[in-house]
Amino acid sequence: MAISSNLGYPRIGVDREWKKALEGFWAGKIDETTFTQQLQDIRLNHLRIQQAKGIDLLAVNDFSRYDHILDTAVMFGIVPKRFQYEGGIVPLSVYYGIARGTKEATASEMTKWFNTNYHYIVPELGGVEPQLTENQPLQAYREAKEKLGIEGKPVIVGPLTFLKLSKGFAANETDTWLDKLLPLYVQVLSELAAEGVQWVQIDEPILVTKLSVEDVERLKKVYATLTAAVPSLNIMLQTYFEAVENYQDIVSLPVKGIGLDLVHGQSGNLSHIRQYGFPSDKVLGAGVIDGRGIWRADLNEKLALLGELGELVTSDRLFVQPSCSLLHVPVSTARETKLAAELQGALAFANEKLDELVLLTKAITQEADAVREQLQAADKALKQLKDSAARNRRDVQEVVAAVAGQEPQRSKPFAERHADQQAQWRLPLFPTTTIGSFPQTAEVRKARQLWRKGEWSNEQYDAFIREEIDTWVKLQQEIGIDVLVHGEFERTDMVEFFGEKLEGFAFTQNGWVQSYGSRCVKPPVIYGDVAFAEPMTVAETVYAQSQTERPVKGMLTGPITIMNWSFVRDDIPREQVAYQLAFALRQEVESLEHAGIGMIQVDEPAVREGLPLKEADQAEYLAWAVKAFRITTCTVKETTQIHTHMCYCEFHDMIDSIEAMDADVISIETSRSHGELIHSFEENTYELGIGLGVYDIHSPRVPSVEEMEGMIDRALRVLNPKLFWINPDCGLKTRGSEETVASLRNMVAAAQLAREKYSSLV
């Protein structure tokens, strides 16, 4: 008989208690014993919720102290040498040092988890001999069984995915590293089998990407080895985020189950199943509920899909599950009391998705009549949203269609614009600037809270924001920064702020998801047609400009980032949503320019994370992503300098698209992966203005002048000094004021040294 199975649950808790525990521990407010107990309490509560919902097979070891890839690395003793780890169980101080950095050692690189807005810590394998430090999946299994009587399904990241996401070794060392890791995986699984574990979930999302012939052979070797070592253990080889490549090879592996994404990878995976069938000796993990989106499922459609699968797979070999871990969605809609009824009824967060899994399982194992009332309620909710006025704005649809039908471009090519802008701004060699935000102190957050609660008037709040702007404009001038920003003190989040001022958006009260570490975001919900209402950033930017003779950049979030960092409606193509956003933001750009702001930064840090995992789909996405940016920025004068910013990404495979955006200046996060990006510019020319981040803002350490000078020197080996800018690698919102000022002073000092060194060469 089919059963319901979950792949993973959000770590943060309904009240973000996980985040609060981490930050309390980091701040020294709680000791390690108390912290460890708090994490266990949170972890067990999450299991109780899933147990009460009626999920048959619960994932354990999906919880983390920071990141599941980092967990896997430290479980195998893979700790960079700079942290002076000497073996054994990795202390929390070292664990968090790898993630966040210390005064003595830089943090490991952080990058996107496939095409999601979650970030993982990149393992560094160089110079390390792996060892099993502790069997974390076994500990999680024992805890769930002893404390709650749950026969859990331990989760572990698979060897091929782990290696493919790691760095610090040459391509020709891949097999050597596989040979080092495989015995450790065997040891983990052997101990699980000895404990009586029935199912283990081995996550191999790398299988949805293009694999080489060698990788396919490695995959076969891995699972032949694991199965031979622990033949009694049921291995569920779990994939997600897209359709698998090499379907026939994968379903032929000697494992007991294969998990497939039948939401985002439905077309490819379903066509493979139809064409080649599914092995009669394996369980199909049917990922039919969207683990990444927040919309209620069309349950009749899902039942039809399960019905088709039921003709190919017997019911005792079917797991009904999400398309991926529920890590990527908020916890519960229960506390969402302020949304429009038409929207509220159409939402499903993690807990509601569990209900959908149980409902679908009941419908296919019993009679659909038993759940007919619930199916009808779901249909009604989805139809109400579909027919709503917010989704049927002809005025928006027609004008955006007309704009999208044109080819957006600036009035002059970059070389001519650059000359005009130099004449206009007279900036020094290697201009210095920041990315936009300055520290959001406790006072800033408290002021916003008082204003939102109505305890402060608009006038009081505006006066407070202007005082913050005054303080930081003066500080920037005193430090010696060339192009200033107003600091974004009025903004909670770079996407939420704009969503609150555009039409077609809604906002949850508790729709938090983990982005990286303890950093949680509350993505806006794009549920209707997007439209510009009134200027959003002009007042603060113009005020800041009035306080200085130096240029102040207007600061916007770009259309692709707003889209990729929001929960997006799924009834129209994402391309159409991007163009609606682009046209709305164009009107804001024009408002800033009309108000006298001659430098405007349109940030697009999330362009790459939206890149489809399938190579065949990437060119089309990049084309309309670039077009959306150009729609936003193409109507300004040639002397108006357009900046953009990107972070957390690998760019070597999209340099051409970045250049096609035609921004006058792009700043790129590189401090954790400086060498890799420099190598990209050794192989690809870049003829527009560019600033490579010279220090990591995600770490509390203050980098030295010499450290930043070294980064500048390396960048200038391959980049044109006349077009080079100097800046931090990202916004400074999360940093403390003291460390921010100290770091920026060092950055300006490094820039001055570079000017002295290179002025004679320019």
CA separation (Å) from 689 to 30, 164, 658, 661, 718?
46, 33, 12, 12, 13
Instruction: Determine the distance from the C-alpha atom of residue 261 to the mean position of all C-alpha atoms in its chain, rounded to a whole number.
Output: 19
Strand 119-121 to strand 110-112: parallel, antiparallel, or no bridges (unpaired)? antiparallel
Three-state SS string over 648-691 comes to CCCCCCCHHHHHHCCCCEEEECCCCCHHHHHHHHHHCCCCCEEE
With b for 16 or more beta-carbon neighbours within 10 A and e for fewer, the 39-58 pattern comes to: beebbbebbebbeebebbbb
CA–chain centroid gap for 364, Å, is: 35
d(CA 760, CA 408): 39
The answer to the question of whether 456 is labelled as a binding residue is no
- What's the Rg (C-alpha) of the chain? 26
Kind of pairing between the strands at 553-557 and 519-521: unpaired
Task: Work out whether the CA dihedral 750, 753, 759, 762 comes out positive or negative.
Answer: negative
- Report which secondary-structure segment, H or E, holds 88: none
Q: Which residue has the tokens 């209620």?
A: 296
Query: Of 264, 328, 486, 698, which one is the catalytic site residue?
Result: 698
296 is in an annotated binding site: no
Residue 523: partners with Cβ closer than 8 Å, 6 or more residues away: 117, 495, 496, 511, 513, 565, 566, 567
Pick the closest to residue 467 from 483, 451, 450, 490 (CA basis).
490
Laid out side by side, the sheet with 567-568 consists of 502-506, 525-532, 567-568
Residue 435 assigned ligand-binding role:
yes
**Rounded to the nearest 5°, which phi and psi values hold at 701?**
-70, 150
To the question of whether residue 596 is assigned a binding role by annotation, the answer is: no
* Closest of 334, 390, 404 to residue 569, by C-alpha: 390
Residue 645 counted as an annotated binding residue = yes
Give 548's Cβ-side CA count (13 Å radius). 26
Listing DSSP states for 460-511 in one string gives HHHHHHHHHHHHHHHHHHHHT-SBB--B-TT-S-TTHHHHTTEEEEE--SS-
Token reading at 492: 């909670």
Which helix H or strand E contains 50, and what residues bound it? helix 32-53
Distance CA 730, CA 738 (A): 17
Residue type, 283: V
In 3D space, the residue among 609, 604, 587, 596 whose CA is nearest the CA of residue 534 turns out to be 587
CB atoms within 10 A of CB 124: 20
486 annotated binding-site participant: no
Task: Answer for the pair 153, 109: CB distance below 8 angstroms, yes or no.
Answer: no
18 labeled binding residue: yes
List Cα–Cα distances, 618 to 210, 404, 566, in angstroms. 13, 19, 20
In the numeric block, the tokens 């899994």 are attached to: 357
Is 669 marked as a binding-site residue? yes
Q: Residue 437 annotated as binding? A: yes
Question: Nearest CA to 184 among 261, 78, 111, 274?
Answer: 78
Q: Which of 730, 750, 740 is nearest to 702 (CA)?
A: 740
How far is it, in rounded angstroms, from Cα 66 to Cα 82?
20
> For residues 579 and 631, is the Cβ–Cβ distance under 8 A?
yes
Q: Is 698 a catalytic residue?
A: yes
519-521 and 513-516 strand pairing = antiparallel
| DSSP classification of residue 124 | B
Tell me whether residue 649 is annotated as binding. Answer: no
272 is an annotated ligand-binding site residue: no
d(CA 243, CA 511): 28
Residue 147, annotated as binding a ligand = no
Dist. CA 180–CA 297, nearest whole Å:
43
DSSP label at residue 369: G
Whether residue 17 is annotated as binding a ligand: the answer is: yes
Q: Please state, in angstroms and rounded to a whole number, the distance separating the CA atoms of residues 759 and 738.
A: 31
Residue stretches of the annotated binding site: 16-19, 112, 435-437, 488, 519-520, 565, 603, 609, 645, 647, 669, 730
Residue stretches of the annotated binding site for 5-methyltetrahydropteroyltri-L-glutamate: 16-19, 112, 519-520, 565, 609
Residue stretches of the annotated binding site for L-homocysteine: 435-437, 488, 603
Residue stretches of the annotated binding site for Zn(2+): 645, 647, 669, 730
Show which residues are catalytic. 698
Residue stretches of the annotated binding site for L-methionine: 435-437, 488, 603
